[in-house]
Amino acid sequence: MTTVGVEEEYVLLDPHTHLPVALAEEVRAKAGLSTCVDEGEVQHELLQAQVEVATPVCTDLEEVGGHLLRLRHAVGTAAEENGCRVAMTATAPLRAGTPVPITQNARYVKMREEAGRLVDEQLICGMHVHVGVPDRETAVAAMNRLRVWLPTLLAMSTNSPMWDGRDTGFGSWRTIVFGRWPVSGPPPYFRGLADYEKRIEMLLEAGLIADRGQLYWQARLSDRYPTLEVRCLDVQLEADDAVLLAAIVRALVTTAIAEEEAGVRPVDCAPELLQAAVWYAARHGLGGTLMDPQGHRRSAGDVLYMLVQHITPVLEESGDLREVSALLHRLLQQGTPADRQRRALAEGGMAALTDFITA
């Protein structure tokens, strides 16, 4: 069974002002005292109003969901004991006039010196899915094949419509903010592992990025784990939302590896078309049309149907098809997390929205 792991980033909010609060170290320390949290599962992030959690390596969806619920509960309890709340949203809905302090380590300090206001505005939270791969050459081949599905994955995950107290008009404003880094967006097509490494070395030798951690492509090879990491997703409102996306990402990687082994020709997609499709998905979510892997605009429902058809054999083999189908049906009924945030805001204003994303 192909392994999978999930990382989630959360923002800490004041329950009264709804503003981000720099209490990450206190929350991490309190969460670390919990008997249900292992060392390293709750980590620091760039800004002191953010925390990150990482599940252990999992083999089935029940494990993924159980670990996410456990970690969300531990961090949420620790936040409440420190007078703040954990918000399950990919952008902080409000920002204070002064920037949130950065976490004091050498790498983050250097990033702040080099990127200035861009670092100040990184009050954004993503969900990263790591899928186990047999080797790095296979990981590059799988990435080449799944990159055409990144707009669809992003559209399903949109959970960041608010910024500076206003609706941005985008389902995923996080994607727009994050896209301002020099190496970001959908990855290019690589001729193989050697080509992947050569292009990274060119970026490093030119001094255009400080380290490999600044490869902010929406899919990349992990340098810490034997995994392919998909990073295009907004953090999700509910653990079940995250489980659905983790299951689909794992199935896409597994399908890609099988196609590579069978010699199936990968779908070619021009980089400018894919970049535009990602922007369009961030703007509209599932509210209109999407680009299919061949570069044609179709209804969002039709593209989701194509996605499910593409990965059904793998989902059947893993026993995940029934759960994925049920969760996907719920997504289509309730709308994306961004849709649900907008409904909460319309019904009760910013207080209701804050209650909703910190429930």
Q: pLDDT by residue (tens digit) across 180-208?
A: 999 999 999 999 999 999 999 999 999 99
Mapped onto helix, strand or coil, the DSSP state of residue 257 is: helix
Q: Which residues contact 142 (CB under 8 A, 6 or more apart)?
A: 133, 228, 253, 256, 257, 260
Tell me the per-residue pLDDT of 293-339, one tens digit each, with 9 for 90 and over: 999 999 999 999 999 999 999 999 999 999 999 999 999 999 999 99
Assigned CATH topology for domain 4-350: Creatine Kinase; Chain A, domain 2 (3.30.590)
CA-only gyration radius of the chain, Å: 19
Which residues lie below 8 Å from residue 62, measured CB to CB, with a gap of 6+?
none
57-101 pLDDT, tens digit each: 999 999 999 999 999 999 999 999 999 999 999 999 999 889 999
Global confidence as pTM: 0.97
- The string of pLDDT tens digits covering residues 98-153 is 999 999 999 999 999 999 999 999 999 999 999 999 999 999 999 999 999 999 99
pLDDT score at 157? 98
Rounded CA-CA distance 75/28 in Å is 7
Q: Where in the chain are the domains? A: 4-350
Which of these ranges, 8-12, 116-120, 154-158, has the smallest mean pLDDT? 116-120
Q: What element of type H or E holds 314?
A: helix 300-318
